[in-house]
Chain A
Amino acid sequence: MAAQTLYDKLWEQHLVKQRDDGTALIYIDRHMLHEVTSPQAFEGLRLANRRPWRLDSNLATTDHNVPTTLVERAQGNKGIKDPVSLIQVQTLDDNCREYGIVEFGINDPRQGIVHVVGPEQGATLPGMTVVCGDSHTATHGAFGALAHGIGTSEVEHVLATQCLLTQKMKNMQVRVEGELGLGITAKDVVLAIIGKIGTAGGTGHAIEFAGSVIEALSMEGRMTVCNMAIEAGARVGMIAVDDTTIDYIGNRPYSPTGEQWEAAVADWRELVSDADAAFDKVVTLDAAEIEPQVSWGTSPEMVTGISGQVPDPRAASDDTVAHSHTRALEYMGLSANQKITDIHLDKVFIGSCTNSRIEDLRAAAAVAKGQTVADNIKLAMVVPGSGLVKRQAEEEGLDKIFIEAGFEWREPGCSMCLAMNADKLGAGEHCASTSNRNFEGRQGYGGRTHLVSPAMAAAAAIAGHFVDVRRLPANDQSHAKKA
């Protein structure tokens, strides 16, 4: 048999039918749902008098609209002040109840951001096809799964048929070789990748991340990298299965046990690209060249190292680029050649499906420990990715470190990643954010987002501006490696 990539293998294992016109039916193992992209899909089912095909493949949670203060959360759904958000959350509750789909509702201890919840529950397993009406579904590919975001019509299609109608993508490999410097994290790696290949660099491709740096990452780090495959233009990001993957999955609520566990592990060991598999595109990065990253513009590819500066549009490679750089600088209120460390900051957000897992919170806490948030920072918030992450962080005392330093310690949800709830930037405010998108208005109307790692965000909160985490004393304790 011809050598296959990981993507080829996953595709083949789920191919129900290949049509002559190039489209194919792919079987879906796990379908995750949240409140924003599902109501119209359920409505469609109802109108056509259809039922979900296989209930146990579905798992739902509310995340985008939920408030994050304890006072509001104590009231359950009633704590959602915005009536339109409330309807959306209630609609998911009602739909799950009506159709018998498992849902982690607003005050379930397992509730959280859908891409944190799935892996944490063992609901994301190697070898699965995982879809969700959310572009950051690529996160789940960290487990050697074929995972990607779908639109609402596709959510309805998957509910009704357990299949996705799609076309095979091309294979792309992004290799990161060498060893990361101290204080350089998975977030810096993926931002550097996007800076290099651009936000359309992976369009039409399934990206497999590989190389010694990726292999050395924890599962949390791998999820951070795969999460942002979409910001590199690829619907799918994935990483081959190894011991790190298998160790993470053992003993989670949805993971197989006993004999099935043994059989599953044997099967999962195959989930790697064959040594001589061919990729349509290969990009290689040298770890030694990756600095802590900070985005300066309104697209994730507008990113540079902490020692860098805002580019000068006049030096851009072509007119379209010059045009978008000029516009970005205007929106961001920055000037050409301004040093990254001189950017004024107003808020700090540590959270989102990119960086709200326990390891992220540990990295931020290691920097914040014994320090105080700078006076110019109006709000520094830490929003754990799920109720279980929150609980673990509290068991480790991270909440106290944050609170003592002047951070707000919140309840789990998407929060200021996209500001659908009350957590927002004001117009013109600059935010050091561990989320994944710096689009105009993403974190609030007129808000200005700078994407960074959790350690960089915490350090910026303390200093009041961006600083190089490699120069911090905390790095002597090598917290950035797996704790």
Chain B
Amino acid sequence: MKQFTRFQGVVAPLDRANVDTDLIIPKQFLKSIKRTGFGVNLFDELRYLDEGQPGQDCANRPINPDFVLNQPRYQNAEVLLARRNFGCGSSREHAPWALEDFGFRVVIAPSFADIFYNNAFKNGLLLVVLAEDTVDRLFNAVDASPDYALDVDLERQQVTLPDGESLSFEVDAFRKHCLLEGLDDIGITLQDEDAIRAFEAKHRARRPWLFRDSA
């Protein structure tokens, strides 16, 4: 997994609540059996004026000029500023894959949907929860100044504004550790292989009907 320590990037604002995973990456792109290449179809239905198809060359598609990520000033954005309940809907991990493939490293919002939250961290995408009024304030600030950038420091759990103001955020210790070190969950879990085997033996003895092969 990609490591995340400290990072500074331009912010793009997506002023819309309840952004669902279908909006982040429409289902026709879920047909891929790969983990990469979803970036050109991130927010496909908002970004282009036609209906996108997997495998298509997006360079010649009609662009929706009103969509925020199409505006020149946000072309190199790496931090996405969003509204409440971002990432609701399906469990598709294609959503964080698409955000990352596009170039986002951080999403800031007042709240995130549970499964999306999990999926993002497992892919090195940092999600930062800030209070609703703070997020409001950031939306106004981004709007007012081109190239508005934030400094995000995971180690210190701080977002620093261009004027030097620091905002702290919560992140649980395990997720933080994995992200800082770029650790793979499976490897960590398999260090507990003995505990899993011991549990499994007990579980089988107690509830054999859960194991088809002991029926």
Contacts and interface: CB of A to CB of B under 8 A. Distances in A.
A256 B209 contact: yes
B95 to A, nearest CB: 9
Interface string A82-98: 10110110010000000
A358 to B, nearest CB: 25
Contacts of A25: 189, 192, 195-196
B59 interface: no
Interface string A1-42: 000000000000010110101110101010000001101100
Interface string B169-206: 00011100100000001101110110110011001000
Interface stretch (A127-135, A171-179, A388-396): A127-135
B33 A91 contact: yes
B34 interface: yes
Listed residue (B88, B92, B115) with the most chain A CB atoms within 10 angstroms of its CB: B88
Nearest to A23: B174
Contacts of B192: 16-17, 25
A420 B114 contact: no
27 contacts: A16-B192, A16-B195, A17-B199, A19-B174, A21-B173, A21-B177, A56-B211, A84-B31, A85-B31, A125-B210, A149-B90, A151-B118, A160-B189, A161-B190, A161-B196, A166-B118, A203-B113, A235-B115, A254-B212, A264-B209, A299-B18, A323-B15, A418-B27, A439-B22, A439-B23, A440-B45, A441-B23
A134 B84 contact: no
Interface of A: 14, 16-17, 19, 21-23, 25, 27, 29, 36-37, 39-40, 43, 48, 50, 53-54, 56, 64-65, 82, 84-85, 87-88, 91, 125, 127-128, 133-135, 149-154, 156-157, 160-163, 165-167, 199-200, 203-204, 230, 233-235, 254, 256-257, 260-261, 263-264, 267, 299, 320-321, 323-324, 327, 418-420, 427, 437, 439-442, 445-446
Contacts of A151: 91-93, 115, 118-119, 122
Contacts of A65: 31
A150 B115 contact: yes
A439 B91 contact: no
B85 A199 contact: yes
B93 A135 contact: no
B17 A324 contact: yes
Contacts of B20: 299, 437, 439
A21 B207 contact: no
Contact of B186 (A16, A50, A85, A152): A50
A441 B33 contact: no
B30 to A, nearest CB: 5
A235 B90 CA distance: 10
B134 interface: no
Contact of B210 (A16, A37, A128, A445): A128
Given A16-B195, A19-B174, A40 B114 contact: no
B193 to A, nearest CB: 8
A48 B186 contact: yes
Contacts of A161: 186, 189-190, 193, 196
B186 A156 contact: yes
Contact of B17 (A53, A128, A203, A320): A320
A53 B27 CA distance: 30
